[in-house]
Amino acid sequence: MTPAPRLLEIENLQVHFSTDDGMVRAVDGVSIGVDAGETVCVVGESGCGKTVTAMTVLKLIAMPPGRIAGGRILWQGRDLVPLPPEGMRAIRSKEIGYIFQEPMTSLNPVYTVGEQIAETLRHHEGLSRRAALERAAEMLRLVHIPNPHKRIHDYPHQFSGGMRQRVVIAMALACNPKLVIADEPTTALDVTIQAQILDLLNEMKERLGMAVLLITHAMGVVAETAQRVVVMYAGKVVEEAPVRSLFAAPRHPYTQGLIRSIPRLDLAATEHKRLEAIPGTVPSLLNPPPGCRFAARCRHATPECTAAEPPLREVAPGHKAACIHAESLAA
């Protein structure tokens, strides 16, 4: 008997963008799996390919200049890569919801939020205008927006940033998808609002039983929400582990750097310790350096690191890392 297919299985995905300067390999052989009801976090700094990976799942990247150069995106066992546009549309929102980063710009300013939520419902569920608006109001109540029946008639500019992100979440969840991809849903918000939105996401996940693929660059967000973590660097996965194991024993120097760069209020106040940053910047994806892409910024780098690309390998049960020194770094 073959095991039941995972909810989402990204296999060796390659996404290339053609630019004036040449081919950019934004996503270079990324594999991520998500099981039903699970929260998986994808972490990495800006430009590491995490947003492109997420948008490629729903084929929302502009093609051209983007191109899926290789790999498979298995949705419940079915490959989405060769799927025609109509097939993709049946999956968008209905089966996989998407929450965008910028609540200020991701809603259309000329329609009321009710109309925008209802649009999804009318299309996928075939509801009438009235029924869809009624459901939209229910969704707003679900995401804790006060006076939902009144607020569905308001325009996006009449909402604050946090409230708009609630609307975006309501929109993504309207058709009760099995998976929600949240692309840095809290980055554009104030810290206090960030916590509220994360709580809301966790609450929605409990209530509706969906899986979440959360893209973020904040390690704090990871610790608070994820069951499993995927760390990406320069278009590649460098470490993948259950959240406990990742924070307890990070194996890749990049992950260690990320964890060390989390600001700690207690230390900042008592020991006046400077925040530890990872030196340097993400290498150009036009001509990535040979071998390990992090080597140039790595304090543990040895000549062997730049000789060959380190494969992503299991270093402990359920814990994978792409570093040849992973064992000695376990400390």
Partner 1 sequence: MTSYLIRRLLLMIPSILGISVVLFTVLAMAPGDPFEELATNPAVPPEVRANLRASLGLDDPIHIRYVNWLFAMLKGDWGFSFVSRIPVDDLILQRLPVTIAVIGASQVLALLVALPVGIYAATRPYSIFDQIANTLAFVGFSLPTFFTGLLLILLFSIHLDWFPFVYRTQLDSTGWQWWWDQFRQSIMPVTVLGLFQGAALVRFVRSAVLDVIRLDHVTTARAKGIPERAVITRHVVRNAMIPVVTLVALQMPIIFGGAIVTEQIFRVPGIGSLLISAVLSNDTPVIMAVTFVFACLVILFNLIADLLYGWLDPRISYR
Tokens of 219: 């390690």
142 contacts partner 1 (rule: CB under 8 A): no
91 contacts partner 1 (rule: CB under 8 A): yes
Helical spans, DSSP H, in the chain: 50-57, 85-91, 113-125, 129-142, 148-151, 161-173, 191-208, 219-225, 243-248, 253-260, 265-271
Q: List 98's β-bridge partners, or say none.
A: 181
Q: Among residues 130, 146, 157, 192, which is the contact residue for partner 1, using CB under 8 A?
A: 157
As measured in angstroms, the least distance from the Cβ of 282 to partner 1 is 23
Closer Cβ to partner 1, 119 or 134, answer by number: 119
As measured in angstroms, the least distance from the Cβ of 109 to partner 1 is 6
67 contacts partner 1 (rule: CB under 8 A): no
Other beta carbons within 10 angstroms of residue 80's beta carbon come to: 20
As measured in angstroms, the least distance from the Cβ of 158 to partner 1 is 9
DSSP 130: H
83 contacts partner 1 (rule: CB under 8 A): no
Identify whether 65 is preceded by a cis peptide bond (ω within 30 of 0).
yes
Tokens of 159: 């909402």
53 contacts partner 1 (rule: CB under 8 A): no
Q: 312, 301 in Cβ contact below 8 A?
A: no
Other beta carbons within 10 angstroms of residue 148's beta carbon come to: 19
Tokens of 248: 């307890």
Angle subtended at Cα 204 by Cα 202 and Cα 209, rounded to the nearest 5 degrees = 100
Q: Among residues 2, 21, 84, 109, which is the contact residue for partner 1, using CB under 8 A?
A: 109
Q: Among residues 35, 119, 125, 138, which is the contact residue for partner 1, using CB under 8 A?
A: 119
93 contacts partner 1 (rule: CB under 8 A): yes
125 contacts partner 1 (rule: CB under 8 A): no
| Residue (of 8, 1, 190) closest to 97 by Cα position | 8
Of 85-93, 230-238, 239-247, 271-279, the segment contacting partner 1 by CB under 8 A is 85-93
168 contacts partner 1 (rule: CB under 8 A): yes
Q: Among residues 12, 19, 105, 302, which is the contact residue for partner 1, using CB under 8 A?
A: 105
User: Which residues of this protein are in contact with partner 1, per CB under 8 A?
Assistant: 55, 58, 60, 85, 88-94, 97-98, 100, 102, 105-110, 112, 119-120, 123-124, 155, 157, 168, 171-172
